[in-house]
Structure 1
Amino acid sequence: MPKGKIYLAAGISGLLAVAGIAPQSFAANETVTVVLPEEPPSLEPCESKHSSVGRVLIQNITEPLTVIDPQTGKVKPELATSWEQTAPDTWRFHLREGVKFSDGAPFDARAVVASIERLQRGDMTCNTKQQTLGGVDVQTTIVSDYVVDFKTNKPIPIFPTMMTVVQMSSPNMKLEGASRRPIGTGPYVLTAWNAGTDITVERRDDYWGEKPVVAGARYVWRSESALRAAMVATGEADLTPIISVADANNPETDLAYPNGETTRLRISTNVPPLDDKRVRLALNLAIDREGLKVLFGEEAKLAEQLVGPNVNGFNPDIQPFPYDPEKAKQLLAEAKADGVPVDKAITIIGRNEIYVNAGEALEAMRAMWSEVGLNTQIRMFDTGNWLRYQNRPFPEPDMANLHQDQHDNLLGDATFTAFNKYDSEGVNSAVYDKRVDDLIAKAEPATGETRTKAFQEAFKLLHDDIVADVYMYHMIGYTRVSPRLDWRPSLATNSEIDLSEIRFQASE
């Protein structure tokens, strides 16, 4: 072993000891340990769009009706075998027969109806509903045991794509709050959740599909990137989906991948002083985004809209804001002269470990804003409390704030971003502009060039005229994978870790 690696191992052992983590051997050759950045707030199927939930649930415990082929981007069957549009507002789905949930309940039309009811429930706000079916109400009708009709309140030409993120759950699951006991049709079943410690899943013997190689998985969580990387390096864990660029220092185990996320700070556009466009523009011009890349990797791309180039509706003509602190100072001086309270405190709502170096980035941005005369303060939250500020009704609606956010659109169409994030009725939106609403309403039922151009116009309006966000980056992810695994990250890795894709390297 090279000398440098001896020193590295010694440093890692000390780090583990300080954290109070005892080294462990693997429970079995066919099980894996995954170390996550945070503990999931729940394992609620209708909350699977939260990455902390989806990494455990999706394709492991729960499955959708349809999936996206990563090679072609086309919709493929999963729990549905086929579908057709029978009217502008109606889709008929034919279901796979012979499938059972892990509690023994049959997967049939009744189960699909229950899953859609769970998605649209009234006792909680499901993020899958917000981000995928924002503004869309769905009525289900049982045609036969294995045929279901979906009727929407408006024509949805990409409805089969929407269904790729709606997880099917057992009709026996209670509709009371966010579940910690998910029951799905997937190849694994939840066997334990030791709060604050770990989650374990085991492979089902009665799974309807191909038997995965991995017999089970243990999920643990550590907030520090260096510690997650260390755990994989020492064999304490097999993989971690996200580490910092600084910790991705071993080319034999560390892999970079485009993770589909775009980062931003959402601006409360109707609260003084942020209701003045000059202040919102100054916030953007004061940030040295190129300089901040040191925290995220040089491969990160400056963002100018909340979707990436792979999404239908991305506008290639929008240019990122330049770094121009002198212009920012000038705009703030003009606003102040007109009576805008530019000295008023602006609160930054941050989330612990929303992405690597998230806290460090906020501190650096706060310092840059201070240099141009803005008064900002940071409040960091865990996921559950951060969500209170993400979703309407906002808990402090009169507070001038910047809400730290990241958003992935892996389904390839701007509808999965635009309504939820920017429509006046969107549950995450802090924008109230009829022009944006009209463009979204024009795009959603349309196809082809009409659809694309309407979304492109909306994103240009949001960037150039409204200045709805402090735009940050189209992100790159870094992961560390044990040499014992044959597995590589993909565009979906930030949102899900499909255990059935993991193989083990042959023993030497």
Structure 2
Amino acid sequence: MLKPILIGALLASTTIAPALAQADTDITVVLSEELDLVEPCMATRSNIGRVVLQNISETLTELDVRGDKGLTSRLAESWEDKGDGVWQFKLRPDVKFSDGTAFDAADVKHSFDRVFSDQITCESKRYFADTALTFTVVDDLTIDIKAEPAQPVLPLLMSLVTIVPSETPMEFVRDPIGTGPYKLTEWTAGQQIVLERRDDYWGEAPAVTKATYVFRSEPAVRAAMVEAGEADIAPQITAEVANNPATDFSYLNSETVYLRVDNQDAPTTDIRVRKALNAAIDREAFIGTVLPEGTELAVAMVPPTTLGWNPDLSPPAYDPDQAKKWLEEAKADGVDTSLPIEIIARTENFPNVTEVAEALTDMLKDVGFNASLRMVEVAEHEQYYSKPYPESTGTRLVLAQHDNSRGDPVFSMFFKYASEGTQSGVNDPKVDDLIARASAATGDERAALWSELFAYVHDEIVADVLLFHMVGLSRVSERLDFTPTIATNQQLQLSEIGFK
């Protein structure tokens, strides 16, 4: 059922581009999928964030994923809880955008006004749940942000929104202007993106002077390019080609793979059908075959390192006979179980995604689902992933990968499960109540409420088909001083790369 990767055939049928002439401090990064946008407010989407986030455009705060510093300063030097939902942020002085203009509090206000504007659909907006933010510019380097309801992790939420100049229009841009250490100097759609180091960056000058991003869909080709010296980093490769301990890194990343189920579409309105979807899938069969050893079975939308993790939850058992019984029971009660169920998967979303999607489809067919598969590019995938969902006969299961490297479920649970969540297939008053109370709570109460929500979503409503917590595999040239981390799939900060 699970198809092997024919590495030799891939290499034989694909021409590897000639080596790019470059300086000793220039690098080439080979990515698995092209960028459809270079818009800063979309930088929380992984394919965009790897290029834009903290390279071109920076955030007010940043979570330290390499060490134990926790939340650290970026464009905000400090922050203080003033009470009544108000946080005051002191901004870094003497910062300039790549167009030479000065950074100040008005830019922060405009950046958030833009994110929440109805004239533009920004990815980062969905992380703020139903929190209303009010911005008051105190002076050029001081801004008060009031959250209603009060948001105890507001400084952490500030790590999600990139800051743009006040002059940035309320539409997607092709020439992003940021405060980061690099500026975009070339974007040739379908071929390459080039970032060059700024001489007037406010912080320490990074070692990398220029980064050229190229795109190759085959993981064996990406790995071979690094081996041949034609590229320096391939952030995503597969276990089949990760065979060099000197250059290949394996690490548990912060991504969770799942099938989003719309609980309001027939036939998945019936919980027995949702249970059957889960029982039909042999999750263990994927690990060590098309997914690397170390991949973990998921019981929540977030990785086990997240606040409120519930250790009492277990993955659904693989039981095709029980799946068939649930479908028969639902059919006997008038549920049309013959309605089509289409899996929508994003090409190059993660290594071997096509093989994973094909196997999932076959497993659903084996228990009696009228299942089919459609592989789409990232822009089309977004049309099915976020509301308003297109109408369909039957239902669609969206195969997706969700990142939460920030340690708190607030970055996942509202937009994935709340009735008003932009990527939710759920409409449940108890879910909405738990999310609202957990988001406003602190300490042990916050952890306990998130834990209760995880159990309710998993056991009581069977909201979706949770699959895997993923292992990342990267190949890094031996000339670089760089070790991938939990955040590497979401962002690739050039300032963290050195040379041996």
TM-score of the superposition, structure 2-length normalised?
A: 0.96
Query: Is 2:58 aligned against 1:63?
Result: yes
Deviation at 1:397, TM superposition (A): 5.8
State which of 184, 195, 206 in structure 2 corresponds to 1:201.
195
State which of 253, 256, 259 in structure 1 corresponds to 2:250.
256
Question: C-alpha distance in 1, partners of 2:22/2:11?
Answer: 19
Query: Is 2:88 aligned against 1:86?
Result: no
Superposition map of 1:140-159 within 5 A: 140-159=135-154
Query: Is 2:278 aligned against 1:284?
Result: yes
Question: C-alpha distance in 2, partners of 1:73/1:276?
Answer: 46
Query: Is 2:248 aligned against 1:226?
Result: no
1:415-461 superposed Cα distances (whole Å, 9 cap, x missing partner): 11110100001011010000100101111111012111111111111
Determine if contact 1:280/1:468 at 8 Å carries over to the other structure.
yes
Amino acid at match of 1:217: A
Determine if contact 2:120/2:170 at 8 Å carries over to the other structure.
no
State which of 297, 300, 324 in structure 1 corresponds to 2:292.
297
Distance 1:421 1:37, change over 3 A: same
Amino acid at match of 2:493: D
Superposition map of 1:109-508 within 5 A: 109-130=105-126, 132-176=127-171, 178-293=172-287, 294-396=289-391, 399-505=394-500
1:27-64 superposed Cα distances (whole Å, 9 cap, x missing partner): 21110000111111111111011111000011211111
Query: Is 2:19 aligned against 1:24?
Result: yes
Determine if contact 2:30/2:234 at 8 Å carries over to the other structure.
yes
Determine if contact 1:141/1:149 at 8 Å carries over to the other structure.
yes
In the alignment, structure 1 segments of 5+ residues that lack a partner are: 1-10
Determine if contact 1:34/1:239 at 8 Å carries over to the other structure.
yes
Question: C-alpha distance in 1, partners of 2:369/2:465?
Answer: 14
Amino acid at match of 1:109: A
Q: 1:4 maps to which residue?
A: none
Q: Secondary structure at the match of 2:114?
A: helix
1:289-332 superposed Cα distances (whole Å, 9 cap, x missing partner): 11111211120000011011111122111111111111111111
1:143-185 superposed Cα distances (whole Å, 9 cap, x missing partner): 0111001112210001000101211112232222x22211111
- Percentage of matched positions with identical amino acids: 46
Deviation at 1:16, TM superposition (A): 6.1
Q: Secondary structure at the match of 2:129?
A: coil
Q: Secondary structure at the match of 2:107?
A: helix
Amino acid at match of 1:236: E
In the alignment, structure 2 segments of 5+ residues that lack a partner are: 1-5
Question: C-alpha distance in 2, partners of 1:398/1:466?
Answer: 23
Q: Secondary structure at the match of 2:89?
A: strand
Amino acid at match of 1:290: E
Deviation at 1:203, TM superposition (A): 0.4
Q: 2:68 maps to which residue?
A: 72
Q: Which moved more, 1:189-198 or 1:60-69?
A: 60-69
Question: C-alpha distance in 2, partners of 1:466/1:397?
Answer: 23
Amino acid at match of 1:121: S
Question: C-alpha distance in 2, partners of 1:217/1:398?
Answer: 46
RMSD of Structure 2 on Structure 1 (CA): 1.6
Distance 1:15 1:297, change over 3 A: closer
